[in-house]
Amino acid sequence: MFQNVKEFIANYPTESPKIRKYENYIDFYESIFLKFKNQDIRVLEIGVQHGGSLELWKALTTPSSQIVGLDILPQTKQHEDERVRIFVGDQGDERFLTNVSNEAGEFDIIIDDGSHIPFHQKATFEKFFFENLRDGGIYVVEDCHTSYWRDYGGGLRKSGSFIEFSKTLVDEVNAWHGQRKKAEEVSNYTKQIRAIRFESSMVIFEKAQMTAPKNIELGVETIDVKTLPVAGSMGGIMNRLRKVEFLRSLVRRSPFLWRLMSKQIRRPD
């Protein structure tokens, strides 16, 4: 077991199975596997091809950890050993994904390095994130640059790409703060995605059972903001108007009104 990813790469024999990862992935995987250091975990990788990344996951986990791979190529069965199991099938086949989901069990880390086709990435995420990722687990989608490639059905801000889909989930994570504030009003995304992280060509999701966040207030107020005096030529009017919620809302939404109000706040001599 190697202590870190860089050590693994520096000592990886040239005749070993091929690995191809973007440079910025290295530090990320360093931090992720550090979270599970010395723990027996289960890792699922969609898309194993030459098997090099399977060697990386084995090197970064304990001898009792289990790794499951999924690939469309039957030849990838050769990568199986006492720690690795391979399912052969099409990532774009919903029935195949369901069979794997039912048979493979739960995982601590799921990595999608499969076809890189945006609608495959979305369908796989919606299956495995909810049904197979444990609470506290990490779901990684690699090579999201294909969301910008026309050959993959992508494009800048192209509807249907995995990047655009992930952007919508940012709103879902924050749904508690919008109009949907009750548990029955929010989606499963809101209830189970703790955090979303965007890296270059990569989107990472952290899973947890979420409830509406509560404010924690400690200490005493040192400034009475409700009666904070407003000076200036319009001070008297502003003091009266700011008691009206509708007008306060207008000020928050208007840069001009905000500047006007801020100029009236009495500054200490």
Token pair 């840069």 in the structure block, residue: 255
3-class DSSP string for the chain: CCCCHHHHHHCCCCCCCCCCCCHHHHHHHHHHHHHCCCCCCEEEEECCCCCHHHHHHHHHCCCCCEEEEEECCHHHHHHCCCCEEEEECCCCCHHHHHHHHHHHCCEEEEEECCCCCHHHHHHHHHHHHHHHEEEEEEEEEECHHHHHCHHHCCCCCCCCCHHHHHHHHHHHHCHHHCCCCCHHHCCHHHHHEEEEEEECCEEEEEECCCCCCCCCCCCCCCCCHHHCCECCCCHHHHHHHCCCHHHHHHHHHCHHHHHHHHHHECCCC
Whole-angstrom CA distances from 142 to 20, 24, 56 are: 11, 11, 15
Q: Return the exposure string of 69-80: e unless at least 16 CB atoms fall within 10 Å of the residue's CB, then b.
A: bbbbeeebeebe
Whole-angstrom CA distances from 161 to 26, 125, 175 are: 25, 13, 22
Tell me the catalytic residues.
116
